Amino acid sequence: MSQSTHFREKINFQKHKRMADEIAKIIPLSSSVYDAFCQSERELFVPQGMGLHAYKLDALPLAANQWISSPLTVAKMTEALTCKGADSVLEIGCGSGYQALILSKLIRRVFTIERIDRLLQEAKERFKTLGITNIHTRFDDGQNGWREFAPYDRILFSASTPHVPQKLFEQLKIGGILVAPIEKEEQQIITRFLKTEEGIIQENLDTCLFVPVKEGREY
């Protein structure tokens, strides 16, 4: 590794760590999630020209009227998943790919679905650039899930919805956790669902703001 490359990586790590420290001032972060944020280069996942804003705790606009969630929201969703002990996770709504990147540091197999082809192609290029090999992508309406690799230990719904489709619960293991932003009246609530032998246990966690889920695929 050249001196310039080593210096650049050191500077980037400091940016990541500063952001993780800012998040940890607001919500409790497990050591594994904290480390995942320190190891993940958010600057590659924001639009060109917005690199200076990459490590602020703000959501940023993407193509196709989509957004990359704020790092704080990503942290809340990731902590809600309780990734320890999980081997596989399905993400509904890849977007920029940043949430999938964080999950790839915590869970061995990440499966992520995106309905907007342009966003998915850009995310795949980012994963390739970073040499990430444990993220598997699919172009589809995420509400269909991905039956070929089910059941999953965890499912993350990265778009707001009035209710989670039953077919996604069917693709979740017994003992598995699904996290989704559920629309309730005028709010969106990060909601955790635990699948048990007896049924689904639901827990409301925190308010959030996501783009609403849409049906179909968009080229």
Catalytic residue chosen out of the listed positions 69, 88, 96, 160: 69
Going by the DSSP 8-state scheme, the letter that residue 161 receives in this structure is B
- Residue 16: closest CA among 33, 37, 35, 34: 37
Neighbouring CB atoms inside 10 A of 202's CB total 12
Judged on CB neighbours under 10 Å (0-12, 13-18, 19+), 50 is: middle
The first and second tokens of residue 49, run together, are: 């020209």
Least Cα distance to 127 among 83, 87, 157, 94 occurs for 94
Q: Is 69 a catalytic residue?
A: yes
Tell the burial category of 147 from Cβ atoms under 10 Å away from its Cβ (0-12, 13-18, 19+).
exposed
Yes or no: say if 208 and 157 are a contact pair by the CB < 8 Å rule: no
Query: From CA 69, how far away is CA 81, in angstroms rounded?
Result: 16
67 pairs with which residues across the strands?
Answer: 61
Instruction: For residue 142, give both structure tokens.
Output: 């995420």
List alpha helices for 86-212, DSSP H.
98-104, 117-130, 166-170
- Helix (H) or strand (E) segment spanning residue 90: strand 88-92
Q: Which residues are catalytic?
A: 69
